[in-house]
Structure 1
């Protein structure tokens, strides 16, 4: 049961609204997003519906860029660009975003500025944040994208990226631990490169102790997350496949009880190679269908089922652990699904605010609270 409170409404927009269910759950939604020199959007402003928002139009018009702007404001990074400078419109020095959102009774604002020199600044309610981890927890995001296939078919870094993002939204301090780990890893690797020419054993002892502590902590969190996520994920796989398929998530890690001893045993090899060969940076998450590797034995349909199930499980675990509903971003994925899957997905996420991009609006079943935006003839 959901109680909907409207303080003031005009048309389909409300200046203040929030949803509370019987568990005390508060509805999160984005009120507006402003883009300035972001990708091909020179100066755009969109007010969003609390329900479904559909950005449609021909290819290469800037629809995905709008989703990317929401994602960037929410998580401080792009789901496409390797460098932040790629987000700045060609010929401009900076790109700026302003996103206003409501969480329960509070209205908040996130401002981001990115330069063509790959610098960025993020403010929450006009207060500058010093670490990206401070941004996590404000806006919860689940993204459906054509690039999701890389979670299955790509290298291990794609799978680590997915799980790291999920865990960071559930536990923002995890992102800080990751950042610390990779800083220490970089320092250790730089030290290893000197090891061929000088004795670095005492310095390595110091870095190794710090690295081991973070390895154990991060690995423990990753393992626990898989244990919680897997049964939810398997539930959706069963619903999609009508019980005909079983898929497991197997967390692969080198982190064992005597990890410090293992790192020391590999020290000479690490010095010779110039990098650290043991650690959570080499973890992987293997998807197995009927005990076979999914990336090698899964059909295109089975892989699609697994990806959709994984994203729905991500949504559900966020709701269970944080008692909040995430924003659902769907980037041109509806055209890839048959009608039954499209309707199934929309049914499962209709209790959230949804932002969809598509070329054909006929792919979307328009509900009463759906707002549509035709995107065309934008500066390339």
Structure 2
């Protein structure tokens, strides 16, 4: 899948931008604050109907505007699919795919699977388990169609159980029903996550071996409860604790991806450059596995690629992205920082960004 045409209206300082990207590598260069990252943000809006930079819409929508819109023509299996997303200040959204209005973001994500590598990607190591669960669930969602309804069922179950826990006078009969439902759906969600991580880790190790030798680095999956106990038993033991706190302590909502070095959290030991290589390797491994399973590439958004990488590792990252035969959108302050790091056969387009205006500079 590649974006053949992109039109952006009122995203941050981008009033009206229209461009035809390369199916391979697209480099946006310009001064800080010129709008480079906003272009990547717009592409993310097209694939996810939200920003990767802010949970609030007001800073995303251009000053004095009430809404922002991103339109793209996406090439998929020899056909072109028009896709459009509009977000308003009130939080409403409209999604249109191939001329039809759709009401779920999952349809967008299926058409345009996106991976982001940016300074915030460090949160994959440094941040809360929620960041790493989202990483896992991105992969499972894109390779296993059964996952989304199971994940939705899990969220409903947790909401109902936590509401009962906070109710005051506990209805033990109702709580038993939701405990049984949680145990059932937890096993299915955990099985899919476990299977996915089992397939991902060898790919990650292969990518990481190209980037950097970090002896003792280990990545493991934690399902959210003691591996030696069944969840039903833990829920019984934890019931009083859950009632006192008003939420469910154990279950797949507590799952995590542990990245350790010498039995310690890797983020506490690795340098910033090493951390960037680890998180980049995880993101690239996801894309490689997705392509292997689905026979489709995903789209990579790489913000400020040269940051915190020396020349050797920067070249390795470019080589890997190039070898994946996927569409890549990269930002850099300097044109020369990335202009000459690609194979001659690769179609590279350079775009200069200045004060929210974008021009092709090939």
Same fold by TM (over 0.5)? yes
- Is residue 302–residue 330 contact of structure 2 (8 Å, CA) maintained in 1? yes
Give the 3 Å change call, closer, same or farther, for CA 301–280 of structure 1 in structure 2: same
User: How many angstroms apart in 2 are the aligned matches of 1:173 and 1:97?
Assistant: 29
**Which contiguous aligned blocks of 4+ residues in structure 1 show a shift greater than 4 angstroms?**
none
User: How many angstroms apart in 2 are the aligned matches of 1:244 and 1:203?
Assistant: 50
1:27-66 pair list within 5 angstroms:
28-66=1-39
Corresponding residue number in structure 1 for 2:205: 234
**SS of corresponding position for 2:166:** helix
The answer as to 2:184 corresponding to 1:213 is: yes
Give the 3 Å change call, closer, same or farther, for CA 244–274 of structure 1 in structure 2: closer
1:1-380 pair list within 5 angstroms:
28-194=1-167, 196=168, 198-241=169-212, 243=213, 245-255=215-225, 258-350=230-322, 351-366=325-340, 367=342, 369-378=347-356
Give the 3 Å change call, closer, same or farther, for CA 155–347 of structure 1 in structure 2: same
**SS of corresponding position for 1:199:** coil
- Is residue 218–residue 260 contact of structure 2 (8 Å, CA) maintained in 1? yes
- Is residue 49–residue 87 contact of structure 2 (8 Å, CA) maintained in 1? no
- Is residue 276–residue 308 contact of structure 2 (8 Å, CA) maintained in 1? no
Q: Offset of 1:314 from its aligned partner? A: 1.4
- Is residue 137–residue 170 contact of structure 1 (8 Å, CA) maintained in 2? no
Give the 3 Å change call, closer, same or farther, for CA 244–294 of structure 1 in structure 2: closer
- Is residue 189–residue 276 contact of structure 1 (8 Å, CA) maintained in 2? yes
Could you tell me which runs of 5 or more consecutive residues in structure 2 were left unpaired when the two chains were aligned. Answer: 358-362
- Is residue 230–residue 248 contact of structure 1 (8 Å, CA) maintained in 2? no
Deviates more, 1:269-278 or 1:168-177: 168-177
- Per-residue displacement from partner, 1:306-338 (whole Å, max 9, x unpaired)? 112212211211111111122221111223321
User: How many angstroms apart in 2 are the aligned matches of 1:209 and 1:83?
Assistant: 37
**SS of corresponding position for 1:160:** helix
TM-score, normalised with respect to structure 2: 0.90
User: How many angstroms apart in 1 are the aligned matches of 2:249 and 2:21?
Assistant: 47
Give the 3 Å change call, closer, same or farther, for CA 214–123 of structure 1 in structure 2: farther
**SS of corresponding position for 2:244:** helix
Q: Offset of 1:357 from its aligned partner? A: 1.0
- Is residue 100–residue 108 contact of structure 1 (8 Å, CA) maintained in 2? yes
**SS of corresponding position for 1:99:** strand
Could you tell me which runs of 5 or more consecutive residues in structure 1 were left unpaired when the two chains were aligned. Answer: 1-27
